[in-house]
Structure formats: structure tokens, C-alpha cells
Amino acid sequence: MDLPVDEWKSYVFQKWSLLPKSTQVTISTAETLSDIFLHSSLLLQPEDEMFLQNLSRGYLVEKDPNAPLFYREEGNKKFQQKDYMGATVLYSKGISHSRPHTADISLCYANRSAALFHLGQHEMCLKDIMSAQMHGYPERLQPKMMLRKAECLVTLGRRQEASQTISDLESSFAAKPTLTAAQFQILQTNLCRLKMKAQEKESLTETFPAALTKALEDMDLKGENGQVPSASSSVSLRTDPLRGRYLVATKDILPGELLVKEDAFVSVLHPGEMPPLCHLESKWDTRVTNGDLYCHRCLDHTLATVPCDGCSYAKYCSHDCMQQAWDLYHSVECSLGGLLLTLGVFCHIALRSTLVARFEDASKVIRKLCGEIRNRDTCSPERETLVQTLTCDLGGESENKGKMLEPPVPGCDLNGKYESNYNAVFHLLPHTGNHSPEHRFLCALSVSALCRRLEAAGCYKPAAAVPPGSGSELDVWGVAMLKHVLQLHCNAQAITTIQHTGSKENSVTNSRQVRLATGIFPVISLLNHSCSPNTSVSFISTVATVRASQQIGKGQEILHCYGPHQSRMRAAERQQKLRSQYFFDCSCAACQNEKHSAATGPRWEAFCCRSCGALMQGDDVLICGSTSCTESVSRDHLISRLQDLQQQVGMARKLLRNDKPEGAIQLLLGCQRDAQSFLSGEHSLVGEMEDDLAQAYAALGDWQKSATHLQKSLQVVEVRHGPSSVEMGHELFKLAQLFFNG
């Protein structure tokens, strides 16, 4: 998803392999990003663009005039089954395919308002009623919708508006002979009921979750850092040749302290699983994707999306977000949806970064880019680049020249301030030399294709005069985009959210962390990696917060995990991943420790002896770890037993889903007996079975038993993921729910 789709990847790799050796050498040994870009760009042929265009056409990103009716009918089916959530999403899809001021859009809005009403989302329901009216909702259908409006207002305690709507309704009934007597009767009854309700209703106080979210958003840094404005005053920016730039604690930090609070420079929502149309049975996809539930710009969760007027894939939480996105970047991106999905999220972020950069001082940015293009070394921001960049920045302020003697930290401005802006983004390392020549060619050709489309669409208006000898302005931005795509390999930050799974009837809900978007956070990019970090990162909308997850002593480095965490992967696997994606060998404390400890494999995958219960050791043939025992068994045999057991557990889960908890418990208890004869007590499957048992007992209302099993599952999770992990948090939250219910 980050990189281009496989078809384009293999197409470009093949093109690369067929290039004359001399051309390959020219591109492989090109010393600057600009040379790589310009050489590759010259090789992009019309047939390549055609191939790419055909791939892009596979995505349904335009408004399809036949889709609204389809989605509305599908939505109505869900509505009748009382699946209001499902109905809401389908009506949203219908809305996103409708043109403004059509019957389609007004009907979809009106239907969605009904679904939202049933979900208790009264504010959103009111908004949708307004939208339905704005887009010309048919007169004859109005009364029912107005009744819903009055009901929402009553529920929300907005008495004055409610009474107004009720009396409007009454007078319109009086003037409307079109209603049948029966219809009139029903409306009258409803009105009377509403009037009474309106009189009883006290004004409502703010609901708790809203208040909580607000409290979290308002949480600010203790003292702002003069050098790094998005960081707290407890940390400071340092640089040395070995570690590059990094943050250290300037005082003792307690667990939970907020260290960084940074809004993404740009972020791009992951469309989610969105296979090209040719892979689908129906022309229209009815599945729920991220794009249906989260704002395209601010990433807020919303059921009542507002679509872009021009395309069907960009949906927002509000008109404000839509307008802001349009002004900043979507006016250019709107018609490029299919191409951007084909080229992947990294290309999309690269484009958006340059679009947003135009709003900082565009001519300054251009000058900086040209400085970079002429520069010889692109693998790292060497002194030269810095001096050059700085000269650009300097302008005429001579009093600052004294500071030139001590080169500032890359990405900082003249006053040594490191802000979350394009200047900082620009100085993130692209590690050009570490990428394979094929990969650089793929990125360069993809960006070239994007530039050609931008040029053809005429959406790139010159922002500033380009110094002679630097190519066209679009070329300059092309080089910048190539740099961003390469930077993203090491600097992209996954924006995650917690998604709740399982039906709402379940008293104990499951939750998991899912990737929602990818963003660039220049300040968070300053943090170095550790497989056992001392911070944790979380997100609200596009804002990331970094908190200390343990005590950090004064002078210690602030560390963050890039993904390979010691509780999720073994050292060898982590090293491999860090080397291939981030180009370094990890020597963090966890990696050092593991090097010294014996490689018996993680406890959550261990088998135990059937006679004495000790852990089994070895590769193909496993031997009992106890010296007084001679038991041995082949790994293949144990693996096949494990697979059988997993199948049984799968069947138990099916029973649980189908509301047959008793059957599930029977089956799971059998599985447990089986597991005891060959799996270690800390095996992850053993933990999962305990979790399933906890859910089954909860479904029967036996909180006591449920809690006992959940506590056992908790022990396994702690072994596997560590005491301060997100996974542990989820389990503890479930336990709290159980204790509350019990």
C-alpha cells in the first residue's frame, strides 16, 4: 500500500532490466537526486503512461451516476434488518457518488438521517436533515423528516427550536389536503406525543465520552520547548556524528509525562482494502473501508461523511474540513485519485508535501530545492548543503552571520529553532545510496509519471521564478517529491487507532490497533529506535503524542520503537527488518541482552514434554529439557497437532459467534486438556483459549468464571507483549469491564 501496486512495480522492474547497460550505469551512479530524476524521466514513454493509466482506471474514484440508487437500496435492506450502522455506511457511499442538488443526494441524506436517528446520533441526524433540504428533498416526503427533526431537537433539549418545528409542522398539515386521513392521524398522534415529551424534557448535559475526548485534546505540554516548539521543556535536541539528531532528557522524567505533541506535517488516509474493480463480483463495493468512516483530512471518526463535490473517494467530517483540504491540496489531487491509489501512499504523501509547502514561503522553498539540486552529495545533508541552505535562508540578515561558525542542527532555522515545517521535512534523510538502483528507478519513474499528469491537467501554477539552470518548476518539485518518497522509507509514521470488534451485544468487546494513515512528523522523526523503547506514541486525529512509558533519567536518550518491538519479534527478525527498511544494525539494550541469552525460542511458541511438562528444545527433533527425562518428538508432529488444535478452537469461536456459548465452552475445555499435553502454559494459543472462555462465560453472565479465565489470558499476554504494552492495556480494560458487570 505504501509502494506502487505490484503490476506497476513489475512493469518498471522489467523495463529496468531491458535498459542498455550503459543507461543503467548512468542512473545507478548518478550523484544527485536531480540526475536520477531527470535521467529516469527521459525514459518514461507514452506507452508506459498508458499502462499506468489503465491500472488507474481500475479504481472507482469518480462519481458514478448509477451508484446512488444501488447503494440506497442496499442501505434500505440493512435498515430493515435494523443494522443501522451498516445502512449508514451504504447511504454514505450513495451520497459520495451523487452530484450536488439532485434527488439522489437528498434521498440518501434523508435516509441516512433516519439511520443516524436510530443510532442515537441526534446532532448528526439534524445536519443530514439540513443537507437533504439543501439539496432539494421532495415536498411530499417532508412531514416525516420534519417529525424526525422535532424529535431530535426534543431529545437534545433544544426546546425552543423543537416547539417552532412542531408548530410549523401543524400549520403545514392544516394547509395540506394531499395527506390521507390515515396519514394525518398518524402524524397527529406523533405530534401530540412529541409535544408532551418536549414539556417534560430537561436540558441535557454534555455526554461523558465527548467531555473525555475534549479533555484529552486540551492536554498540553507542561512547558513549551524554546528550541523544539512541539516538544516539552524536559527534553533537548542534540546531534552527534554517530547517532545523528536525537532528543535527551534534560531532567528526570516520570512515566506518563507528555514529551512531544505534534500535528502531522501532512498525513494521508489509507484507503483500506480497496481492490481494483476487476477483482470484484459487483461493480460497486459494499464493504466498509477507512474512507467510509474517517475524515480524509483530519482523520476524525465520523458516520456522517460529507463528500467532495468532484470525486467519490474523498469524504470529510465537515464542510470546513472539505474546504480546507480543497484549498491546501485536494483541488490538485481530486482528479488524480486512481493514479495516486496505483502509485501508493508514499507518492501521495510526497505530492501532498510539496503542495502544502507552496503555502510556506514558496520562493524560499524553490531556492532551497535548487540549492539541493546543484549539490553533489545527496546521501546525507552534509555541511555543504547546510551552508548552502543557510545562505538561502540568510537573505540580508548579517547580524546572524556569526552563528555560521558553529553549524546549526540540520532542519533548524537561523535561530536554532526546529519547527514542524517544510524546512524540517526537507532535512529528513533520504538514504539515497542505501536504496537499490531498481528501487530508485521505480520511485523516479513513478514521480515522473505523476509530474506528467500534473502538467497535462494544468494544475500546477508557477509559484515563483526558478533560477536559471535548474529546469522547469515542475522538475524542481519532481526532484523534491523523489526525495520525499525515499525519505518516507525511514521516516513515515503509521497513524493508528483502536478499533473495536465484536458485536455490541457482547458485554466484553475486543479491540485492536489498526493502521489508519501514514504521516510525516518531523519532530518524532528525531527520535532514535529501540526495541524496548522508553516512550509510547498515540494519536488523536492527526496529532501524535509521545509519552514516557517508564522513568527516564536526566541525560538519557528519548527512544521510540519503529515497529520491531522486542515483545513481538525475535532479535534476528528485528535486526533483519531494521536493516532492510531503516539501514542500520540495532544495538539497543534488548538486542544486546538477547545476544547473550540462549536461543531457545520465545516462550509463547514453546512446546512442553508430555511426560514431565518441561520445555522441549531443539530444531527438527525436540528433546525434553529436563536432564532426568528422555522424551523426544519430531517438530512436524507437534506442528500438525498444533494445527488440529487451532482448527478446533476456530470451531469453538464459530459457536460463540452463533450465540452458542455452552457448546463453545464444552469444546474449549476439551481443547485445553489437549493443549496441556504438548503446549507450554505460556503458549499464545493457550492464552487465546483462555480469552475465548472468558468471552463465552461472559455471554452466559457468569462474571466470576469469566474473570478467572481472563486473568489467565492476561498472564500469557504479559509474557508475550510485556507489562506496559498496548495489548496488556486492552486485556486489563476487558477485565475492568467484567468486574464492572459482575
355 near Zn ion, judged by CB under 5 A:
no
Q: Which residue has the cell 433540504?
A: 133
| Separation CA 709–CA 508 (nearest Å) | 13
Judged by CB under 5 A, the residue of 311, 347, 442, 523 near Zn ion is: 311
| Separation CA 512–CA 622 (nearest Å) | 34
Nearer to Zn ion, 305 or 446 (CB): 305
DSSP 8-state secondary structure symbol assigned to residue 329: I
Q: Which three cell numbers stand for residue 621?
A: 527433533
Looking only at Cα atoms, what is the longest distance across the chain? 96
Does the CA dihedral 440-441-442-446 come out positive or negative?
positive
Contacts of 696 (CB under 8 A, 6+ apart): 656, 661, 664, 665, 668
Minimum CB separation of residue 531 from Zn ion in Å reads 3
Minimum CB separation of residue 545 from Zn ion in Å reads 19
Minimum CB separation of residue 63 from Zn ion in Å reads 9
Residues 318-337 that bind Zn ion (CB under 5 A): 321, 334
308 near Zn ion, judged by CB under 5 A:
yes
Nearer to Zn ion, 266 or 369 (CB): 266
Minimum CB separation of residue 323 from Zn ion in Å reads 11
Judged by CB under 5 A, the residue of 317, 345, 524, 655 near Zn ion is: 317
Nearer to Zn ion, 140 or 319 (CB): 319
DSSP bridge partners of 543: 263, 540
Minimum CB separation of residue 312 from Zn ion in Å reads 8
Q: What is the CA radius of gyration of the chain?
A: 30
| Separation CA 374–CA 321 (nearest Å) | 38
3-state DSSP assignment of residue 649: helix
How many residues bind Zn ion (CB under 5 A)? The answer is 23
Binding to Zn ion by CB under 5 A, coded x per residue (else -) over 464-503, reads ----------------------------------------
Minimum CB separation of residue 131 from Zn ion in Å reads 16
Nearer to Zn ion, 298 or 717 (CB): 298
304 near Zn ion, judged by CB under 5 A:
no
CB atoms within 10 A of CB 360: 11
235 near Zn ion, judged by CB under 5 A:
no
Minimum CB separation of residue 264 from Zn ion in Å reads 13
The window from 27-35, 59-67, 373-381, 526-534 that contacts Zn ion (CB under 5 A) reads: 526-534
| Separation CA 317–CA 291 (nearest Å) | 11
Nearer to Zn ion, 142 or 626 (CB): 626
Nearer to Zn ion, 291 or 430 (CB): 291
Minimum CB separation of residue 457 from Zn ion in Å reads 13
Secondary structure percentages of the chain, helix, strand, coil, to 5: 55, 10, 35
Contact at 8 Å (CB) between 49 and 452? Answer: yes
The window from 296-304, 349-357, 518-526, 548-556 that contacts Zn ion (CB under 5 A) reads: 296-304
339 near Zn ion, judged by CB under 5 A:
no
- Give backbone dihedrals phi and psi of 607, rounded to 5 degrees, phi first: -105, 155
Minimum CB separation of residue 571 from Zn ion in Å reads 7
310 near Zn ion, judged by CB under 5 A:
yes
| Separation CA 397–CA 386 (nearest Å) | 17
Judged by CB under 5 A, the residue of 531, 686, 696, 719 near Zn ion is: 531
CB atoms within 10 A of CB 551: 13
The window from 41-49, 264-272, 300-308, 422-430 that contacts Zn ion (CB under 5 A) reads: 300-308
Residues 577-636 that bind Zn ion (CB under 5 A): 586, 588, 591, 609, 611-612, 614, 624, 626, 629, 631
**Alpha carbon of 447 to those of 295, 350, 478, 517: distances in Å?**
26, 9, 6, 21
Contacts of 392 (CB under 8 A, 6+ apart): 364, 367, 368, 371
268 near Zn ion, judged by CB under 5 A:
no
Minimum CB separation of residue 307 from Zn ion in Å reads 8
269 near Zn ion, judged by CB under 5 A:
no
Give Cα 339 distance to the centre of its chain.
Answer: 20
Nearer to Zn ion, 496 or 626 (CB): 626
Residues 146-175 that bind Zn ion (CB under 5 A): none
DSSP string, 85-152: HHHHHHHHHHHHTSPTTSHHHHHHHHHHHHHHHHTT-HHHHHHHHHHHHHTT--GGGHHHHHHHHHHH
Among residues 352, 387, 349, the alpha carbon closest in space to that of 486 is found at: 349
Q: Using alpha carbons only, what angle is made at residue 200 by residues 196 and 202, rounded to the nearest 5 degrees?
A: 140
340 near Zn ion, judged by CB under 5 A:
no
Residues 560-579 that bind Zn ion (CB under 5 A): none
Residues 423-442 that bind Zn ion (CB under 5 A): none
Minimum CB separation of residue 327 from Zn ion in Å reads 13
Q: Where along the sequence are the contacts to Zn ion (CB under 5 A)?
A: 295, 297-298, 300, 308, 310-311, 314, 317, 321, 334, 531, 586, 588, 591, 609, 611-612, 614, 624, 626, 629, 631
